[in-house]
Amino acid sequence: MRCPFCGHHDTQVVETRDSDEGGSTRRRRRCQSCDKRFTTYERAEIELPVIVKRDGRRTDYDRAKLKGSLLIALRKRPVGAEALETAIESIEARLRQCGDKEVSSTQLGEWVMQELRKLDKVAYVRFASVYRSFDDVSEFVAAIKETGKKSVN
């Protein structure tokens, strides 16, 4: 594994542990050259369903895009990197378990909102406001009131 800081090829695994029901392996590594530490995640490469957009276009599932959307919603919120990884892995588990070759972006968005609701209610409202295209304040108020209800899995 190449060091992301100095580019050196020789890194040492300091700690290894399974993450979330064994779906991935988390490894803490230390560079032999610059002595900096970083984390890598190892997971099996499994074909996930194609995402069908609202306009009918089809696109491959993109983990980086999902993570980017979650990071925007979670910006300046007190949610750690491990909690974010757990949410992404939960969403990916749902994609695998559904057994379909295609999943609508609407369904994926609902799963994202369920995970955000568990992580941080402010992030949930942020995401919902963009995802559901709120037009006025009453829709924000309804989303905020909805966060007070028990989450449904």
Domain ranges across the chain: 9-45, 47-147
Residue 52, token pair as written in the block: 């069908």
Q: Report how far apart the first and last C-alpha atoms of the chain are (Å, whole number).
A: 37
What are the backbone dihedrals phi and psi of residue 70, each rounded to the nearest 5 degrees, phi first?
-65, -40
Using one digit for the tens of pLDDT, what is the confidence trace for 30-84? 999 999 999 998 877 778 899 999 899 999 999 999 999 999 999 999 998 889 9
At 10-21, the pLDDT tens digits run 999 999 998 766
